[in-house]
Amino acid sequence: MRVIAFVGLPLSGKTTASKVAEEMGIPVVCMGDVVREEAKKRNLPLTDEVLGKIANELREKEGMDAIAKRCIPLIREKGKDVGVVVVDGIRGIAEVEAFKKAFDDFILIAVEAPLEVRFQRALKRKRSDDVKNIEELKERDRRELSWNLAKALEIADFTIENTSSLDEFREKVRDLLEQLAKKVEVEIETKVNPTEDVDKVVQAVKNLFPDADITIEGDTLRAKAWDLRKFRDLLRRQRILDTARTELLKGKSNNETTVFLNKQTAYIGKVNFTDEDAILSPIRVTFKLYGIPFGKFLDYLAPPTKAGKPIREVDRLI
Ligand SMILES: Nc1ncnc2c1ncn2[C@@H]1O[C@H](COP(=O)(O)OP(=O)(O)OP(=O)(O)O)[C@@H](O)[C@H]1O
């Protein structure tokens, strides 16, 4: 399993980066949530002071990697089907070491932004535990650096600067995660004909790819999705693995493949392969592979069968 972690000073943009991962269908484990959970269990308010105290206490009692250790089973659980997990909130080198020991494929990404920029963001965000003045932020920086955050930042495999716009930052994160998550991006396109109900076409796409991020421009629906599980499951339930395999091979070009699906059957939650020039325009689906061999992708979605049953199952892409 590949574990990707973001590390950075307070307000550098770690949570924003994790949200991008989530939108891409990558499960996220938030280390701060482990501390927040502990505060809730003790009926304490979720202020910076309380959370800081609890984090310190856990580290004193159980070691500097206490929070990381509590996250390891959560990471295993969340990543078991997907093969990749993002961890948000590493605060020290001991935590990096704990994760490296637990996961042999561990990648650390530093998120960096100067103090003043981060302070301006705190003023805008106003979370209950956010700093009220720049001195408080300096104090938080000091506290976190005392946990050897500096060392973790130093040994990071990648660094993303978060000094410009939110959109630019999100784009940088997405680009890097696309490379690292070794996943498949699904590009979907179809025409919404004048006789068709837009909502129904949207539903048809969502039935096959529930995480599809849909935009409609004029008469064209376009979407991006990452989660292949529903589509994969439908191929099995409908027992159309051989057809699917043939179609996926037919549409292959370099590291992507395109298939055409019937819109009407998609609307009732079924996969039905069709031709590019089918009436009422089909749903064009392109699977773009990042770092995954085509054969593995093919075996994951539609393995070869014998007497209608898969010869072997590839349960994960990574
Ligand atoms: N490039 C940016 N431009 C404008 N605002 C941003 C940018 N990056 C992050 N922000 C905003 O700054 C705030 C802090 O970002 P975020 O919560 O992602 O940081 P964090 O590193 O997770 O913080 P913390 O360590 O305090 O949990 C958020 O309100 C976020 O929307």
Cα distances (angstroms) measured from residue 291 to each of 185, 186, 208? 11, 14, 24
304 carries a ligand binding annotation: no
> What distance in Å separates the CA atoms of residue 310 and residue 303, rounded to the nearest whole number?
6
Residues with CB under 6 A from ligand 1: 8, 10-16, 121, 124-125, 162, 165-166, 169
- Cβ contact 78:29 at 8 Å: yes
Listed in sequence order, the residues at least 6 apart from 163 whose beta carbon sits closer than 8 Å to its beta carbon are 113, 114, 117
Mean pLDDT of 200-210: 97
Q: Nearest residue CA, atom 29 of ligand 1?
A: 125
One of 1.20.120.450, 2.170.190.11, 1.10.10.10, 3.30.1440.10 is the CATH number of 184-310, namely 3.30.1440.10
Q: Nearest residue CA, atom 16 of ligand 1?
A: 13
The predicted structure's pLDDT at residue 255: 86
- Name the 3-class secondary structure at 277: coil
Instruction: Please state the pTM of the whole predicted model.
Output: 0.66
> What distance in Å separates the CA atoms of residue 157 and residue 144, rounded to the nearest whole number?
20
Mean pLDDT of 127-131: 72
pLDDT tens-digit profile of 155-200?
A: 999 999 999 999 999 999 998 998 888 678 899 999 999 999 999 9
Listed in sequence order, the residues at least 6 apart from 56 whose beta carbon sits closer than 8 Å to its beta carbon are none
Residue 215 CA to ligand 1 centre (angstroms): 26
**Two tokens at 238?**
């409908």
Question: Relative to the CA of 121, which ligand 1 atom is closest?
Answer: 12
Q: Nearest residue CA, atom 23 of ligand 1?
A: 11
Residues of the chain with CATH 3.40.50.300: 2-180
Residue 16 CA to ligand 1 centre (angstroms): 6
pLDDT at 129 over 70: no
Residue 144 CA to ligand 1 centre (angstroms): 17
> What distance in Å separates the CA atoms of residue 203 and residue 268, rounded to the nearest whole number?
9
Cα distances (angstroms) measured from residue 121 to each of 7, 31, 124, 158, 218? 17, 21, 5, 23, 37
Residue 124 CA to ligand 1 centre (angstroms): 9
Question: Relative to the CA of 88, which ligand 1 atom is closest?
Answer: 22
Residue 113 CA to ligand 1 centre (angstroms): 10
Superfamily name with CATH number, domain 2-180: P-loop containing nucleotide triphosphate hydrolases (3.40.50.300)
Looking at this predicted complex, what is its ipTM? 0.92
14 carries a ligand binding annotation: yes
159 carries a ligand binding annotation: no
Residues of the chain with CATH 3.30.1440.10: 184-310
